[in-house]
A and B are shown apart, each in its own frame.
Chain A
Amino acid sequence: MPTWAGEPLLDVQGLVSGYGKIGVLRGVSISIHAGEVVALLGPNGAGKTTLLRAISGLLPWNAGDVVFGGRSLAGAGPRETARAGLVHAIEGHRIFTQQTVYDNLLLAAYDAPRAERRRRIEEAFAVFPEIADKRNDLGGALSGGQRQMLVVAQGLVKQPRLLMLDEPSAGLAPVLVDRVLNVVSDLRSRGVAVLLVEQLVEKALHGSDRIYAMAQGRIVLESSAGAPGLAERIENVYFGHKAADATGGKS
Chain B
Amino acid sequence: MAISENALKPATIASLAPFLAIGVVAVLLPFVGNDYWAVIGTRAAIYWVLVAGLNLIVGFAGQLAIGYVALLTVGAYVTSILAAGTVLPPVPLPLCFAAAAGVGALFGVLVGLPALRLRTFYFAISTLGFATIVTQIALAWRSVTGGGVGLAGPEFPPPFNTAWGFYGLCLGAASFATWISANIAHSRFGRALVAVRDADVAAEANGISKAILLIPIFLLGGAMAAVAGGLFATLQTYITPDAFTFDLSIMFFIAILIGGRGSILGPMIGTIVLTILPEAAAPLASWSTFLYAALLLVIVLAVPGGIADLIDFKNRRAITEERMIVPKPALLPQLFAHRPTPAALTLNGVVLAFGGVRALDGVDIVVRPGEVHGLIGPNGSGKTTALNVISGYYAPQEGEARIGGDPLPAGRPELRAGLGIARTFQRPRLVAAETVLENVMIGGTISGRAGFLATLLSLPGRGRDERELEARATRALQAVGLEALAGVKAGRLQHGEQRFVEIARALMLAPAILMLDEPAAGLSSDEIRRLGELIAEIAKQGVGVLLVEHHADFIFEICRHVTVLDQGRVLAAGTPAEIRSHREVVDAYLGR
Contact = CB atoms under 8 A, between A and B. Distances in A.
A247 B562 CA distance: 12
Interface string B574-586: 0111001000001
A244 B553 contact: yes
B158 interface: no
Interface in B408-431: 427
Interface stretch (A20-28, A51-59, A127-135): A20-28
Nearest to B381: A44
A21 B550 contact: no
Contacts of B533: 250
A199 B378 contact: yes
Contacts of A84: none
A43 B575 contact: no
B550 A44 contact: yes
Interface string B370-384: 000000001110000
Contacts of A44: 378-379, 550
A43 B589 contact: yes
A234 B590 contact: yes
Given A22-B522, A23-B495, A250 B590 contact: no
A98 to B, nearest CB: 16
Nearest to A19: B427
A246 B589 CA distance: 18
Interface stretch (A73-81, A113-121, A148-156, A200-208): A200-208
A244 B551 contact: no
Contact of A247 (B495, B575, B589): B575
B536 A251 contact: yes
A27 B268 CA distance: 49
A167 interface: yes
Nearest to A169: B591
Interface in A193-251: 198-204, 216, 234-235, 238-242, 244, 246-251
B556 interface: yes
A238 B589 contact: yes
A175 to B, nearest CB: 15
Contacts of B556: 239-240, 244, 246
Interface of A is mostly: loop
B580 A45 contact: no
B478 to A, nearest CB: 20
Contacts of B495: 21-23
B145 to A, nearest CB: 51
A234 B495 CA distance: 29
Interface in A38-86: 43-46
Interface in B484-502: 494-495, 498
B550 A203 contact: no
Interface string A166-190: 0101110000000000000000000
A23 B498 CA distance: 13
Contacts, number: 83
A204 B575 CA distance: 30
A216 B551 contact: yes
B323 interface: no
B518 interface: yes
A247 B558 CA distance: 8
A202 B498 CA distance: 38
A45 B552 contact: no
Given A43-B550, A216-B551, A202 B592 contact: yes
Given A21-B495, A167-B379, A247-B575, A240 B552 contact: yes
Nearest to B536: A249
Given A24-B522, A247-B575, A45 B380 contact: no
Contact of A202 (B518, B521, B590): B590
B590 A249 contact: no
B43 to A, nearest CB: 44
Interface in A1-31: 18-19, 21-24
B30 interface: no
Contacts of B378: 44, 199
Contacts of A216: 551
A246 B576 contact: yes
Nearest to A23: B522
On chain B, which size bracket covers the interface? 20 to 34
Given A21-B494, A170-B379, A244-B557, A45 B589 contact: no
A109 to B, nearest CB: 30
A170 B550 CA distance: 18
A18 B590 CA distance: 25
A16 to B, nearest CB: 13
B518 A238 contact: no
A13 B550 CA distance: 26
A238 to B, nearest CB: 5
B62 interface: no
Contacts of A23: 495, 522
Nearest to B592: A202
A250 B575 CA distance: 16
A204 B494 CA distance: 37
Contacts of A248: 557
B421 to A, nearest CB: 24
Contacts of B278: none
Contact of B552 (A24, A43, A199): A43
B558 A249 contact: yes
Contacts of A234: 590
A201 B556 CA distance: 22
A95 B364 CA distance: 34
A144 to B, nearest CB: 9
B532 interface: yes
Contacts of B536: 249-251
Nearest to A201: B590
A239 B557 contact: no
Contacts of A238: 552, 586, 589-590
Contact of B379 (A199, A201, A242): A199
A19 B518 CA distance: 16
A213 to B, nearest CB: 11
Top 8 A-B residue pairs of the complex, sorted by shortest distance between their CB atoms: A200-B591, A240-B553, A45-B550, A201-B590, A246-B577, A44-B550, A21-B495, A199-B591
Given A24-B522, A235-B586, A238-B589, 7 more contacts: A21-B494, A170-B380, A171-B357, A199-B591, A234-B590, A238-B552, A239-B580
6 contacts: A22-B427, A202-B591, A234-B590, A238-B586, A239-B552, A249-B558
